[in-house]
Amino acid sequence: MFIFIAHHNQRNFIMKYRFILLLGIASVFTMPAMAEVLHFKAELTPQAEVPAVHNSRGKGSVEVHFDTRTRRLVWQSEQSGLSGPATMAHFHGPADPTKNANVQIPVSAGQLGHKGRGDVKLTNEQAKQLMDGLWYFNYHTKAHPGGEIRGQVLRVKQ
């Protein structure tokens, strides 16, 4: 009788263990994808422009927060020392630091002062380019219509 009870309890334990294990595995596959907010930054300099700008004391930076689930990009920028008021600013891509590329995200005229901020939803392709380090940000001025300061937007490990 003792052998039967011990065997029966062991069998129940194994069945419960298997059930819990299967439940755990199933929950992994049914959980919604976890959002991750990635952080990026670019230091903007005249030397980073292509071709480089040699007669500017401009400098700046842009910080980017990107939600991988919603593909929402939130940015804030600042600049100083430009040869004149900024006439345009954009995120460009895809391009490595030695190349120029098309505008991906234009900055509205109201955000062209010394500090700016904005947000936008990216396409899947834009999100991949951003995460691959193939975007840059730059400010344009009347004296430098092709861009006065620029920086590659690169991920910052947090």
Q: In what order do the strands lie in the sheet with 136-141?
A: 103-106, 86-92, 136-141, 149-152
Asked if 89 and 138 touch (Cβ cutoff 8 Å), the reply is yes
Q: What's the confidence (pLDDT) of residue 23? A: 46
- DSSP 3-state assignment of 54? coil
Is residue 15 domain-shared with residue 71, that is, in the same domain?
no
- pLDDT, mean of residues 121-138: 98
**Domain range for 73:** 37-156
Same domain flag for 20 and 47? no
List the single range of 20-24, 114-118, 131-135, 137-141 with lowest mean pLDDT. Answer: 20-24
Whether 64 and 25 share a structural domain: no
Asked whether 62 and 151 are in contact (CB, 8 A), the reply is: yes
- Confidence (pTM): 0.78
Strand 37-44 and strand 149-152: pairing? unpaired
